[in-house]
Structure 1
Amino acid sequence: MAADRVTEMKVAHLHPDQVQRYEQLHRDIPAGNERHMREAGIVSLRIFREGLTLFMIVESDPSLALPDRVIDHELEEAWHRLTGECFSKTWRDASEIYQLHREDSKA
């Protein structure tokens, strides 16, 4: 199953006066938003911050996405309105330039 996983890295930047608001929004993410992400096949979503720069690592497995899921556009739009005001630069893909894997040891 792990072979089906997809890892994405995204980067965004916050307005200096929006850091606390952005972090507060993520302390209180509505259950519907989290359910929506799980139904899309997201296995792990992590956001890190260094100064005003955000780094998001998303691991998803398309085989875990509900095939007949209904996308709640109102839910998504409401979340994007809330968080969108915090960004000076919105999420964009980061390019992977290196990868190190641990080899399975055959003892």
Structure 2
Amino acid sequence: MAANRVTEIKVAHLHPDQVERYEQLHRDIPAGNEQHMREAGIISLRIFREGLTLFMVVESDPSLALPDRVIDHELEEEWHRLTGECFTSIWWDASEIYKLHREDSKA
């Protein structure tokens, strides 16, 4: 059901001395955090880095979000605290300025 998919691009900047720490945190993401993302309807979340700039691509489908999901707020707050210390500027939305779309063709 690609019609329900939403793609978001976010950008953030790291402190120069926090690059390795930020990458290390993402090599060992707590299972609970990943579960929260899946239960929120996230299909794919990817983070790219160029120098000190991070780009996050999030594909989600709101129809896949569990309406009665239970969030461990302490776990989420700790994750945001740990990763947040790495940023000079935290995630903001990138603006789409161009899109090439290929229509599915049926032969």
Matched, 1:78 2:78: yes
Structure 1 SS opposite 2:98: coil
Distance 2:104 2:93 in 1: 30
CA distances 1:30-60 after superposition (whole Å, capped 9, x unpaired): 1110001000000000000000000000000
Q: Percent identity?
A: 89
Deviation at 1:103, TM superposition (A): 1.9
- Structure 1 counterpart of 2:40, which letter? A
The number of residues matched between the two structures is 107
Q: Which residue of 1 aligns with 2:59?
A: 59
TM-score, length-normalised on structure 2? Answer: 0.97
Distance 1:103 1:65 in 2: 27
- Counterparts in 2 of 1:17-36, with a 5 A limit? 17-36=17-36
Runs of 4+ in 1 over 6 A off after TM superposition: none
Q: Which moved more, 1:81-90 or 1:71-80?
A: 71-80
Distance 1:105 1:93 in 2: 32
Structure 2 SS opposite 1:83: helix
TM-score, length-normalised on structure 1? Answer: 0.97
In structure 1, stretches of 5+ residues that fail to align are none
Q: Which residue of 1 aligns with 2:42?
A: 42
Q: Which residue of 1 aligns with 2:104?
A: 104
